[in-house]
Amino acid sequence: MQAMKQFITTDEKLRQLVHALSKNAWNIISAGKEGTNFIYINDGKDLVINADSKPTKLSAKEFFFPKTEPLFFYKKNHDGVDLLDPKDVLRKTVLFGVKPCDAAAVPVMGKVFNWDYKDEFFNRRVEQTVIIGMACSYSDVYCFCTSTGLSPESSKGSDVFLKPAQNSSYIAEAVTPKGEAFVVEFSSFFDAANENDVKLLLNSPKGPEKKFDANQVKQWLDGHFEDPLWNEVGETCLGCAQCAFTCPTCHCFDIVDESCGYNCGRRVKNWDGCQFGLFTKHASGHNPRGHQPERYRQRISHKFKYYQDKFGEILCTGCGRCTRGCPVGIDIAEIAQEINKRNSVLV
Amino acid sequence: MQELIQAAQAALTSKEAAFIIGYALTPDGKKTRPFIARTPDEAAKLVFNHTCAHNLAVYLTRIAKPKEGKMGIVAKGCDTRAIVALIQENKITRDQVYIIGVNCSGVTADVTLPFGADNLPSKCIMCQVQVPPVSDVLVGTAAPYDKPKDAVTERMQLLEAMNEHERFAFWASEFEKCIKCYACRQTCPMCYCEQCIVDKTVPRWIESSASLRGNFSWNMIRAFHLAGRCIGCGECERACPMDIPLMLLNRKMGMVAMQQFNYRHGVNPEEPTLVGSYNMQDNNEFFK
């Protein structure tokens, strides 16, 4: 196997890189300050590269799958209707300081957006974006990346991956051809790393303790569509979409038409969430998931069973946002742990 | 704690209550979350501590009413306002609920941090009901705690000092953040409509897009629907993943109800609601 191409850069150089990107009309997005969101920046001094920071409130998915996105605009004319393509020219975009749990979610979502129908809206955003991931040394009681097959140093989904080293420097790995091309294009900010540079790497962050075994969770789910557990965990769920909307991998959407007056309007794709009662309600009035426990079972099963069945990996990267923000303290890792416990009793 | 468990077990054993909506510890023992006890054994898991921030009254209109027995609920003083408001609005009757009132010593704003003056939600800073005014049985003790200055009050004064353009710009920047997850609605004990106006599609009154226009419509209409009805528990703001300061709006509405009509919702179960009653002495000067 060919060794990953490694480079060395510094905090200062990355800030200068922002300046260069800005001059070349790139969209530059940086992780926000502690506990905030990703922000658009134009100035190197606004760049936040902090391995210790808490995950942003919303994940990076909004840059590939926005909370609301027009599919087309329509306008009535004398003969009929004009359809207008909303796809404005996307500028080349770079996302700085993306945590492994956010970056890994992009290829995971990519599977469903390229399964039968190729979602050009998602794909063109991915194609236009360079993801600069970064090793993460933050960990709180809600984090569980290590239970989802990732780690604080997973470069999955990143095009370039930064690992902090001594003296405010970073070892940068070009993970994908796109990442390599980016480093080559902006080579004045990245030097080839030699053996001594690599020795400067800081100790690998430990990450959260492993909380559950996802394969065992799936095994249990295979045989427990009906189970008292669903009522236990689902009956106090109040049915909002905080979990789904802050999740880096949840990708359900609704399509609605909105008028801008009598003669014109647009069709938009909006985030939707499976905990809403309306999500599965049929036009007839029948709702196959009429109660919250059934909706909660869907959430867990989609994450750990259905996605695994269909695409070979789980729909969760362990960022912990769903639990961190749940108004009634429902904890997905704890439910997976409980399932592990029940599984081991059965075996 | 034992007092709470005994009260719950007594209500379940005597079949006075069919279940008790209360709080239980999470497996790590550090936090609590809503828990519904149906048997005396389950009731042994009930707890009350500084992390019990949730207003459980929301479940009274979400859970199917039992065929026999009352809906038991563990309620702080602030939560009892929601229960009284639901009685005033004819959603429940007083004899359908069995209230285990808990004397409260304040709850945390952030459950992962220790309780203290720098970790108090606004409702606890402004609290005047550490002892629940309505209950069937009262447990626990209410210890005094240090209350800092209320940041919400200060922010509201700043907002009141703005002109309408500045205020519009302020709310536009706040509502822009909204992602339409409806956590505000789902956690609100007063948001109990069987079909929320935002979910109506024939016709669609409010755009479901999380665009600025759709977000403005949603948040403003929700505020209007809560005018004179919000009981100030702050659950919407606590639940909001985008930290939109919804209580600035809701508390302002409550203040207007008080100034204009000398009305406070959720205080007296016998009193007609503000929007459901008319009084010749009502202040009419805003009709122009």
Q: Show me where the domains of chain A are located.
A: 5-199, 214-346
A329:B182 CB<8 A: no
Q: Give B-chain residues touching A239 at CB under 8 angstroms.
A: 186
Partner residue opposite A68 with nearest CB, options B26, B209, B242: B209
A327:B35 CB<8 A: no
Task: Delimit the domains of chain B by residue range.
Answer: 2-139, 151-261
Q: How far away is chain B from the Cα of A295, in angstroms, using its nearest Cα?
A: 15
Task: Please give the Cα distance from B86 to B83 (Å, whole number).
Answer: 5
CA distances from A313 to A117, A308, A339, B62 (A): 19, 4, 18, 35
Token couple for B26:
């999470």
Q: Give A-chain residues touching B242 at CB under 8 angstroms.
A: 57-58
Half-sphere exposure for A153 (CA within 13 Å, toward CB): 11
Among residues A32, A67, A64, A73, the alpha carbon closest in space to that of A50 is found at A32
Partner residue opposite A331 with nearest CB, options B26, B208, B238: B26
CA angle A117, A120, A126 (to 5 degrees): 120
Q: Are the beta carbons of A13 and A189 closer than 8 angstroms?
A: yes
Residue B137: the pLDDT is 97
A256:B204 CB<8 A: yes
Q: Give A-chain residues touching B32 at CB under 8 angstroms.
A: 329
Task: Please give the Cα distance from B185 to B282 (Å, whole number).
Answer: 30
Residue A7: Cβ within 10 Å count: 20
Partner residue opposite A328 with nearest CB, options B33, B185, B207: B33
A242:B33 CB<8 A: no
Q: Give B-chain residues touching A295 at CB under 8 angstroms.
A: none
Residue A70: Cβ within 10 Å count: 19
CA torsion sign for B85, B91, B96, B100 is: negative
The parts of chain A modelled with pLDDT lower than 50 are 1-2, 347
Among residues B137, B62, B156, the alpha carbon closest in space to that of A292 is found at B62
Partner residue opposite B179 with nearest CB, options A258, A271, A337: A271
Judged by a CB distance cut-off of 8 A, whether residue A222 touches chain B is no
Residue B199: Cβ within 10 Å count: 18
Give residue B197's region: left, alpha or beta (phi > 0; psi -120 to 50).
Answer: alpha
B239:A242 CB<8 A: yes
State the DSSP H helix or E strand holding residue B72, giving kind and residue range, or none if neither: strand B70-75
Task: Please give the Cα distance from B141 to B154 (Å, whole number).
Answer: 31
Q: Give B-chain residues touching A59 at CB under 8 angstroms.
A: none
Summarised one tens digit per residue, pLDDT across range A253-279 is 999 999 888 899 999 999 999 999 999
Q: Which residue of B has its CA nearest to A69?
A: B209
Q: How far away is chain B from the Cα of A270, in angstroms, using its nearest Cα?
A: 6
The contact set of B with A (CB < 8 A) is: 26-28, 30-36, 54, 58-59, 62-63, 111-112, 179-183, 185-187, 199, 204, 207-211, 214, 235, 238-239, 241-243
Token couple for A37:
């969101």
DSSP string spanning A217-253?
HHHHHHT-SS-HHHHHHHTT----SHHHHH-SS---E
Q: Are the beta carbons of A135 and A100 closer than 8 angstroms?
A: yes
Distance in Å from the first CA to the final CA of chain A: 39
Q: Name the DSSP letter for residue A305.
A: I
Task: Please give the Cα distance from B288 to B285 (Å, whole number).
Answer: 7
Residue A259: the pLDDT is 87
A238:B35 CB<8 A: no
Greatest C-alpha distance within chain B: 61
Q: Give A-chain residues touching B185 at CB under 8 angstroms.
A: 240
A329:B238 CB<8 A: no
Q: Which residues is B70 bridged to in the sheet?
A: B17
B26:A329 CB<8 A: yes
What is the rounded radius of gyration, in angstroms, for the C-alpha atoms of chain A?
Answer: 22
Judged by a CB distance cut-off of 8 A, whether residue A141 touches chain B is yes
Q: Give A-chain residues touching B238 at CB under 8 angstroms.
A: 327
3-state class percentages of chain A: helix first, strand second, coil last, to nearest 5? 35, 20, 45
B181:A270 CB<8 A: no
B32:A329 CB<8 A: yes
Q: Name the DSSP letter for residue A303.
A: I
Token couple for A219:
């095994």
Q: Give B-chain residues touching A331 at CB under 8 angstroms.
A: 26
Half-sphere exposure for B266 (CA within 13 Å, toward CB): 24
Distance in Å from the first CA to the final CA of chain B: 56
Q: Are the beta carbons of A327 and B238 closer than 8 angstroms?
A: yes
Q: At what angle do helices A214-222 and A332-346 cross, to 10 degrees?
A: 70
Quick one: three-class SS letters along A111-164? Answer: HHCCCCCCCHHHHHHHHHEEEEEECCCCCCCCCCHHHCCCCCCCCCCCCEEEEE
Give residue A177's region: left, alpha or beta (phi > 0; psi -120 to 50).
Answer: alpha
DSSP string spanning B252-271?
HHHHHHHHHH---TTS-TTS
Task: Please give the Cα distance from A339 to B253 (Å, whole number).
Answer: 46
Token couple for B65:
């009413």
Residue A347: the pLDDT is 47
Please, what are the averages of pLDDT over each run of 10 residues along chain B (288 residues)? 95 98 94 96 97 97 94 97 97 97 96 93 92 96 92 90 96 95 97 92 86 91 94 95 94 91 93 89 75
Residue A77, classified by CB atoms within 10 Å of its CB into exposed (0-12), middle (13-18) or buried (19+), is: exposed
- State the pairing for strand pair B17-25/B32-37: antiparallel
Kindly give the residue spans of alpha helices, DSSP state H, lying in A235-320.
242-246, 292-301, 307-311
